[in-house]
Structure 1
Amino acid sequence: MPDQHAWWQRGVVYQVYPRSFQDSNGDGVGDLPGILSRLDRLSALGVDAVWISPICPSPMADFGYDVSDYTGIDPAFGSLEDFDRLVAAAHARGLRVILDYVPNHSSDRHPWFVESRSSRSNPKRNWYTWRDPAPDGGPPNNWLSEFGGPAWTFDAATGQHYYHAYLPAQPDLNWRNPEVRAAMLDALRFWLDHGVDGFRVDAIHHLIEDADLRDNPPNPDWRPGMSPARSLIRAYTMDQPEVHDAIAEMRRVSDGYPGDRVLIGEAYLPIDRLMMYYGADLSGFHLPFNFHLLSTPWKARDIAALVERYEAALPPGGWPNWVLGNHDRSRVASRLGPAQARVAAMLLLTLRGTPTLYQGDEIGMEDVPIPPGRVQDPWERNVPGLGRDPVRTPMQWDAGPNAGFAPPGAEPWLPLAPDWGARNVAAQAADPRSMLSLHRALLALRRAEPALSVGSYAPVEGAAEDVLAFERRDEATGRTLLVALNLGDRERDLPRAAAEPRVLLSTRMDGGAGRLRSDEGVVLG
């Protein structure tokens, strides 16, 4: 019987942060021709789809997440013709292309907002959220920006405030306005017509706010050092019921195109609320991003409990997914250390569901300290200590000038990691026990074994306290694989199966041993 699973269920998504992936022209910023030049590397790695962070025209106040034209390419990244060539080249290699879609807010330089703020009577005034000042002349309510400070900016020319969940340069679009919805859905159609295979939808839980603009309540759990935005419970600025109608409209557009187009939603939410983003009768996102591994303590019992809760909460037919790193969060190797980062890679690529792999994690890149004079992230400038620059530094390709990211003589937009001369793709490709070799082996095993790509999941009881063990079973053939991960620094017994399986892969890349060594993961079959 042929496999009925969609490509996005079987496959692995690789996130490219384009500014930092490959600079082809020496301006220090990665671009589309640079991505095209590295497609063979991604194909050799064994991933199935390339998700590209924002590339639309933008003033770059938030590096592409402030869009000034939803149907174009920013000149820093190239041209629409470059994009079309990239899509064609990716498809020729069997790689899918997923684009970032930023529906919550535009740039304040988008022509829509320029019109909207020109006068209270402008036809596009209601394309954004404008309100009169409070009686004391201050903001209309107590809502806070995710990047620090009030979420309202006063426009002296028209005497009203406009709402922005993020920077003042990122005014929120009013998705209660049918004209806004129509225009934004047309943007999806534009890129689908250019052959994209899906979208990662940014900040979807912020899309719609409370119509009555009620104050958010104080957060009793907030402590100094946390983001100032978390001092309030975002009860009226996030995860509003109406968002699901908007997602369903996006889904209808996507479903109107052939080829299993995929919608992936970014929403940092508790598991029970996250499940709502699959939509009624699975009419929402194919994959609401599951970020819970990013915050769960790195302990076997905690992770096992997380997987159990998540699997139990999935709606009938809902497909799981897992994330261990992205352009907003500290890198896996920095959070867990190099040894456990290898175990984490095995966990990510053997759990049931679609994994997303962030560029550079396949070679164990770590967070890079950014000197004050080189800080780029507006969040860091507004709230020191919360910046995302350390995880966005240039990809380390080889030991040549600029780590192969940019031509000699160029100055990369962010500093390189100090270890780029030794930790790079070329060096690790030649080392059969490297982090890169481990990822290639894991991805090859995942493709070769339906039990890993689309099989069922079952926990294995009775393992040692710091050992996470589970089985993956191919229901069509009955083939069962055992995954055992030692999250501790002591040698442990392997969980016993009914038969004595052989080691298919060890994170040590040495064939395995009779016991589960410290900081080791194994797949047995």
Structure 2
Amino acid sequence: MPSFQDGDADGCGDLRGVERRLDHIAALGVTAMWLSPIYASPLLDFGYDVSGHTEVGTVFGDLATFDRVVRGAHDRGLRVVLDHVPQHTSSEHPWFRDALSSRDSTHRDWYLWHDPKPDGGPPNNWASAFGGSAWTFHEPTGQYYYHAHLPEQPSLNWRNPAVRQVMFEVMRFWLDRGVDGFRVDAVASPPSALSRIGPERVPGALALLLTLKRMPMPWEATPPRAGFTPDDVEPWLPIPAWAGRFSVESQELDPRSLLFRVRELLKLRRARPAAWCGHPRTFRSAAPAVTG
């Protein structure tokens, strides 16, 4: 969302920007839209470090704007899908701040704690998905807490029934506001990444994920901000001078553009039920594969 459309002239995409572009989304021919995290967050990990699961982050808007987006989407036949982040919270979340207060605090067992090894080191050699140890020592209470990602993203203890209950209540909160479904984030673990791409490729893959950045959406052909934000506002990511050539405005005028092709492909998909509800079958051929 931060790169989609700035709706309040602060240089960052937000819910007002989404509301403004609902007609464009519907005109693509899609039936749903997925919103990246909109929750309260210190934004150390693009909003996936949630500090308030039932709050909208001020940079993205508020609940009233969110409700309008949902209604507007439904009026246009669009479903709304939210990111759900059950693996961890922000270290600024009230639950974790309480957990830090003492070993006997209400939320202590909502996270994963372990005593140091005899030499004072971490409990084991588990590594964070972002590099370094997955354990951070909390000196005031004398224990390590586990974080599969950043140290500022302490992992929740899903063995605790209270954690499961409250996270299901979070989902119910958004469903009651009209959300149609969730994309569940951060359920894969570093070992699963190892099994998929091999241990020798993990550092490079993680570095790529951490350095990838997306250019804000160019809506108009006019520089310097291409309609993403007002021209006198600095966008949260740079917008190159050539962005206008690939703007929505420019592509609307070109029947050979990617925008036109996406619309045509989605129209074809809707017209061919096998493309969205068929069952795939694999055929093996003894003939060599065609490569050129």
The CA RMSD measured in Å over matched residues stands at 2.6
Once the two structures are TM-superposed, the CA of residue 48 in structure 1 deviates from its matched residue by 0.8
Asked if 1:222 is matched to 2:44, the reply is: no
Query: Which of 134, 139, 151 pairs up with 2:134?
Result: 151
| 1:25–1:407 Cα contact (<8 Å) kept | no
Unaligned runs of 5+ in 2: none
Once the two structures are TM-superposed, the CA of residue 25 in structure 1 deviates from its matched residue by 1.4
Q: 1:72 to 1:156 in 2, by over 3 A?
A: same
Question: 2:211 and 2:126 mapped to 1: Cα distance?
Answer: 23
Query: Which of 30, 45, 54 pairs up with 1:71?
Result: 54
| 2:14–2:59 Cα contact (<8 Å) kept | yes
Question: 1:140 and 1:116 mapped to 2: Cα distance?
Answer: 19
Match of 2:215 in 1: 393
Match of 2:228 in 1: 405
Alignment partner of 2:121: what SS?
Answer: coil
Question: 2:270 and 2:83 mapped to 1: Cα distance?
Answer: 26
Match of 1:161 in 2: 144
Structure 1 residues 486-524: Cα deviation after superposition (integer angstroms, max 9, x where no partner): xx5xxxxxxxxxxxxxxxxxxxxxxxxxxxxxxxxxxxx
Match of 2:253 in 1: 430
Match of 1:465 in 2: 289
Question: 1:464 and 1:48 mapped to 2: Cα distance?
Answer: 39
TM-score (norm: length of structure 1): 0.52
Once the two structures are TM-superposed, the CA of residue 206 in structure 1 deviates from its matched residue by 4.0
Once the two structures are TM-superposed, the CA of residue 464 in structure 1 deviates from its matched residue by 8.1
Once the two structures are TM-superposed, the CA of residue 107 in structure 1 deviates from its matched residue by 0.4
Match of 2:85 in 1: 102
Once the two structures are TM-superposed, the CA of residue 27 in structure 1 deviates from its matched residue by 0.9
Question: 1:396 and 1:43 mapped to 2: Cα distance?
Answer: 18
Once the two structures are TM-superposed, the CA of residue 428 in structure 1 deviates from its matched residue by 1.1
Match of 1:508 in 2: none
Alignment partner of 1:195: what SS?
Answer: coil
| 1:106–1:170 Cα contact (<8 Å) kept | yes
Q: 1:192 to 1:427 in 2, by over 3 A?
A: same
Q: 1:142 to 1:418 in 2, by over 3 A?
A: farther
Q: 1:414 to 1:389 in 2, by over 3 A?
A: farther
Aligned ranges 1:507-518 → 2 under 5 Å: none
Alignment partner of 1:443: what SS?
Answer: helix
Question: 1:57 and 1:117 mapped to 2: Cα distance?
Answer: 20
Question: 1:83 and 1:179 mapped to 2: Cα distance?
Answer: 28
| 2:83–2:183 Cα contact (<8 Å) kept | yes
The one-letter code matched in structure 1 to 2:52 is: D
TM-score (norm: length of structure 2): 0.91
Query: Which of 117, 136, 149 pairs up with 2:119?
Result: 136
Once the two structures are TM-superposed, the CA of residue 144 in structure 1 deviates from its matched residue by 0.5
The one-letter code matched in structure 1 to 2:261 is: L
Extract structure 1 runs of 4+ deviating beyond 4 A.
Answer: 458-464
Question: 1:402 and 1:434 mapped to 2: Cα distance?
Answer: 21
Match of 1:205 in 2: 188
Query: Which of 182, 185, 197 pairs up with 2:165?
Result: 182
Match of 2:266 in 1: 443
Match of 2:278 in 1: 455
- Calculate percent identity across the aligned residue pairs: 53
Structure 1 residues 227-286: Cα deviation after superposition (integer angstroms, max 9, x where no partner): 34x9xxxxxxxxxxxxxxxxxxxxxxxxxxxxxxxxxxxxxxxxxxxxxxxxxxxxxxxx
Aligned ranges 1:45-56 → 2 under 5 Å: 45-56=28-39
Question: 2:49 and 2:181 mapped to 1: Cα distance?
Answer: 20
Once the two structures are TM-superposed, the CA of residue 148 in structure 1 deviates from its matched residue by 1.1
Once the two structures are TM-superposed, the CA of residue 191 in structure 1 deviates from its matched residue by 0.2
Alignment partner of 2:249: what SS?
Answer: helix
Of 427-436 and 198-207, more deviation after overlay is shown by 198-207
Alignment partner of 2:55: what SS?
Answer: coil
Once the two structures are TM-superposed, the CA of residue 453 in structure 1 deviates from its matched residue by 2.7
Once the two structures are TM-superposed, the CA of residue 408 in structure 1 deviates from its matched residue by 1.5
Once the two structures are TM-superposed, the CA of residue 123 in structure 1 deviates from its matched residue by 1.8
The one-letter code matched in structure 2 to 1:450 is: P
Structure 1 residues 375-429: Cα deviation after superposition (integer angstroms, max 9, x where no partner): xxxx7xxx5x552443x22112221231211111111111124531211211111
Q: 1:428 to 1:110 in 2, by over 3 A?
A: same
The one-letter code matched in structure 2 to 1:54 is: P
Asked if 1:91 is matched to 2:91, the reply is: no
The one-letter code matched in structure 2 to 1:406 is: T
Q: 1:443 to 1:115 in 2, by over 3 A?
A: same
Alignment partner of 1:420: what SS?
Answer: helix
Question: 1:463 and 1:442 mapped to 2: Cα distance?
Answer: 30
Question: 1:154 and 1:72 mapped to 2: Cα distance?
Answer: 29
Q: 1:403 to 1:464 in 2, by over 3 A?
A: farther
| 1:227–1:386 Cα contact (<8 Å) kept | no
Q: Count the aligned residue pairs.
A: 288
| 1:104–1:206 Cα contact (<8 Å) kept | no
The one-letter code matched in structure 2 to 1:431 is: D
Question: 1:108 and 1:409 mapped to 2: Cα distance?
Answer: 35
Alignment partner of 2:33: what SS?
Answer: strand
Aligned ranges 1:36-47 → 2 under 5 Å: 36-47=19-30
Question: 1:462 and 1:50 mapped to 2: Cα distance?
Answer: 42
| 1:151–1:164 Cα contact (<8 Å) kept | yes
